[in-house]
Structure 1
Amino acid sequence: MSVLRVLLADDQPLVRSGLRGLLERDGDITVVAEAPDGAEALRLARQTRPDVARLDIRMPHLDGLAVTRSRPTRAHKPCPRVGRDNRQPVTGGRT
């Protein structure tokens, strides 16, 4: 089984630290990078190419939504998304 590689982006260090501890507890997830703002998250996503990015919606410089809209180049693998609309779960790849 391969390890899931995660990027954490949140402007609160305590939140990042707590999430890292929870995610890495069982060993099947590793945090490959942490970012205190959206601009750094975008730079680190391009550098580390994580499988999943956990982005805070409200961060300095770029918020999590802006980082999502500024996806890394096509050379990067697609990132699955999971969300929810008002009626049913929505899942899918790149849009």
Structure 2
Amino acid sequence: MGYRAREESGLSMPDGSETQVRDRLARQRTELANERTLLAYIRTALGFVIVGVPAVWLMEQPLVRVLGWLSLAAGAGFLAVGIRRFLSTKAGLAQEPK
């Protein structure tokens, strides 16, 4: 990114606080990435639950039921890990100076 690109991007501030703007934008990108990661964990957990529910309640074979319960447990685990990671990252961002 050259001198001209900075002028054209509109990130340059009159008082020379370009780094503050860049830091604020980086923080916003990190917060959005954290939210996208949580949504990916939720989507994965729902996938495991969607597979596990019919296996437990609709199938007659014992092995399929066991696999269904394992799928439900994996879904709950993914959801718990995703929420834990989201909250820890959010807390870490809150501790950093703005």
> Normalising TM by the smaller chain, what interval?
under 0.3
- TM-score normalized with structure 1 length: 0.22
- Greater strand share, structure number: 1
Q: Highest Rg: 1 or 2?
A: 2
- Greater helix share, structure number: 2
